[in-house]
Structure formats: structure tokens, C-alpha cells
Amino acid sequence: GQQLNQSPQSMFIQEGEDVSMNCTSSSIFNTWLWYKQDPGEGPVLLIALYKAGELTSNGRLTAQFGITRKDSFLNISASIPSDVGIYFCAGQDAGTYKYIFGTGTRLKVLA
Amino acid sequence: GAGVSQSPSNKVTEKGKDVELRCDPISGHTALYWYRQSLGQGLEFLIYFQGNSAPDKSGLPSDRFSAERTGGSVSTLTIQRTQQEDSAVYLCASSSQEAFFGQGTRLTVV
């Protein structure tokens, strides 16, 4: 199936550290979305980005829509234990309008 | 409803039995996706419906898997002759401008 390249695949960090993850694609996207999935739950939408260069924050989370429209990053500042989970990106293909989802970044925060 | 609703939330079935998983998308969303997620793993694309277009079935792992979407709304994913390797969480998402997920159906084949 179609997937975005998301990195890193997993990471362990100390509480209080900043975290960065990104997604890249060979296709141009109209929209980028970032999700968090807690164990036993479905992914929950965190941030939506609608145009190239857009930088959007949601609390300690900041995401940007790359100017090439082929990438996006998510930063989490001052991580806390409840940030643990799997983070997914998704991009809406500009040609087909289909959403393609990333492979996920598994984040573990060490107290 | 306000969000994507999936049922059942949990399903335990015997190997060889057929199962049906249901997804009620957000009203007005024309696109609907089914994904499979094994424990702690990423999202495995299964099938995509968009309006009245022919569905993208490229992710279905075998001919035991099928899905339909009636009236452009509710979707059913059917797995025939279930195998133990079918055990996973099956997630449905619907989208308009943004995509939203349901809580998933945890399928266990024993």
C-alpha cells in the first residue's frame, strides 16, 4: 500500500527534551495532518496544515507544511511522560485527493 | 454522529469463521478508508472509497477480504474463513478536508 516516509521510526527521549519528527513524499500534497495514537485507541488529529510554508502550533506541538509541498515536520517541546504514543503524519495527494498515511514514529519518554 | 463509529469494538472469532466489521463515517464525508494495525505497528492500508468511484482495493491482502460501502455512507469489511494472522486492530477513517479515525475493532482469531 501507499505510505509516506516518516522518521525516525522510534525514539527514546528524556523528559523535558524537545522532539522532532518528519515526513517526506514523492508527491505534492494539498494538506498535511499529524495524529497521535495512544495504546488501545484510534489516532487522534493534533494539527492540520493547509498551505505551503504554514507553521501551526497546538500547545507544545508545532508543525510546518514544507515549501516544496512534499514534506512536513512535527516538533514537541519540553516532552512529558504522557507524550508517549505513536505519531502519524498524513498527506492529501494533490492529484487524487486521497490521504496517504505515514509509517508512524513511536515515542517513549523516560522520566 | 459526531465522529467515526466502528462496531464491534472487540471481536473474538474461531479460525475459519467469517466476520463483518462495520464503520459509520462522519456524515457528509465522501472518502472512507480501512486500515489494519498489528500490535504496536504502523497502519497497513486495505481499501479506499471515494464517492461513487470504483474503490481502491490495492491493499487487500487476499481474496478472503472484501469491503463495500452502501449508499455512500456505512461501510462493512468482511473477512472470510478467518486465520490467526488476521488478528489485528482494524481502523476506519473518513475524510472531507481532514481525516478522522474511529476507535477501531480489535479482532482476535483463536
Interface contacts A/B by beta carbons within 8 Å? 57
CA-to-CA distance for B30 and B72, rounded, in angstroms?
7
Q: Which three cell numbers stand for residue B49?
A: 472509497
* Beta strands, E only, B3-95: 5-7, 10-13, 19-24, 31-37, 44-50, 65-69, 75-79, 88-95
Q: Which three cell numbers stand for residue B91?
A: 481502523
- CB contact under 8 Å between A98 and B50, yes or no, is yes
Mind listing the pLDDT tens digit for each residue in A34-64? 999 998 899 999 999 999 999 999 999 999 9
Q: Are A3 and A101 in contact (CB under 8 A)?
A: yes
Mind listing the pLDDT tens digit for each residue in B30-62? 999 999 999 878 899 999 999 989 999 999 999
- CB contact under 8 Å between B42 and A42, yes or no, is no
- CB contact under 8 Å between B102 and A41, yes or no, is no
Contacts of B50 in chain A (CB under 8 A): 97-98
- CB contact under 8 Å between A43 and B101, yes or no, is yes
